[in-house]
Amino acid sequence: MKRFFKLIPLLLLIPAILAGCGSSIPSENAEEILETPKADDLVTVGFSQLGAESDWRSANTDSMLSAFTEEAGYNLIYKNGQQKQANQITAIRMFIQQEVDYIVLAPSTEDGWETVLGEAREAGIPVILVDRRVNTADKNLYSCWVGSDFELEGKKMAAWIKAYTESKGIAPEDLHIVNIQGNIGSTAQIGRTRGLANAARDNGWDLMAEVSGDFTENRGREVMGALLKRFDNINVVYCENDNMAIGAIDAIESAGRKAGPNIQNGEIMVVSFDGVNKTALDYARQGKISCIAECNPLHGPRVRALIEVLKIGETPEKFNYVDEMLFSSVPGVDAIVVDDKTYKVEREY
């Protein structure tokens, strides 16, 4: 809505910017500056995405881009934070300067948002959080959040590991687990790590190491390679996303080992989260990944629905959770129970 007026000064600035920067304007900026003015009746949304580390993230970005179209009445300004909180803070400040109508933030990590979210509030721009959360003492620094219950995902996975290994008569102390974590301090990492760590403590499992693989395939490969050198008895690898699981499986196979559920026969059981990446789903069908906790990335329409509520002056629910399933093609466990609730284990990916 307000963007049209903001763009005029920006367009006037182009010759000066070109002169100042020589020929190399980063393409991301060029796109924003050269953007054509939008109709005045569009609602402008600035979306600060944290990066592009995984297939989940790409699916999430696509979902946002296809929900906030001009046909739907929106002008979306998308900024990729390249995995750096500082970039996301800069993007939010830019959105404030542009006087966008709403800011949508997918935060990289939970801490450190007070100042910039305070600036958005000063400017009167509502902030909607998507996927991960922020840890601010004042919860009114954002209007609402939509995403997954990451700790529940972790608890479900731990319940599956327990049920499966019990069904095979494997003693708890014989489970030698490593956790390849997501980027430290992100809500997804914190919840999934906690789900496993609590279950390990309660069940007497040997949780040998927790190391971050930053949610990327390459880091998953590197971290698993190093863990295999450090420990010779790993039999369960808990990967906090599918991309890291793919990397970890590569490392397992390169070390001459087999990824699979038969840990009594020397296989290394890999479990993971998301269920978005095609290779991971193939690996799951083949038993290289034994269980996947679904994490749904399709938040675009959900965020749009929240904005529609704000637009008519109403207050949406503060925290909006998405229902998710658990998948395993490994026979033996049909259902698991977490916090008194029964979840079916889906067999088809």
Could you tell me if 297 and 63 are in contact, meaning their C-beta atoms sit under 8 angstroms apart? yes
Which C-beta is closer to ligand GYE: that of 101 or that of 131?
Answer: 131
> Does residue 53 bind ligand GYE (CB under 6 A)?
yes
> Does residue 56 bind ligand GYE (CB under 6 A)?
yes
Q: State CA 30 to chain mean position distance.
A: 28
Residue type, 18: L
Angle CA 132–137–143, to nearest 5:
55
> Does residue 238 bind ligand GYE (CB under 6 A)?
no
Residues 137 to 196: which contact ligand GYE by CB under 6 A?
148, 188
Residues 6+ apart with CB under 8 A from 334: 344, 345
> Does residue 217 bind ligand GYE (CB under 6 A)?
no
Residues 112 to 141: which contact ligand GYE by CB under 6 A?
131-132
Which C-beta is closer to ligand GYE: that of 44 or that of 296?
Answer: 296
Give the integer Cα–Cα distance in Å for 83 and 98.
Answer: 23
Give the integer Cα–Cα distance in Å for 262 and 282.
Answer: 18
Residue 70: name the closest of 99, 35, 98 by CA. Answer: 35
Q: Which of 54, 61, 108, 235 binds ligand GYE (CB under 6 A)?
A: 54
DSSP SS3 for 145? strand
Binding mask 271-290 for ligand GYE (x = CB under 6 A): --xx----------------
Considering only the stretches 53-61, 202-210, 259-267, 311-319, report the one whose residues sit in contact with ligand GYE under the rule CB under 6 A: 53-61
Binding mask 80-109 for ligand GYE (x = CB under 6 A): ------------------------------
Which C-beta is closer to ligand GYE: that of 146 or that of 333?
Answer: 146
Half-sphere exposure (Cβ direction) of 325: Cα atoms closer than 13 Å? 11
Residue 141: name the closest of 88, 98, 103 by CA. Answer: 103
- Applying CB under 6 A, which residues contact ligand GYE? 53-54, 56-57, 131-132, 148, 188, 215, 241, 273-274, 295
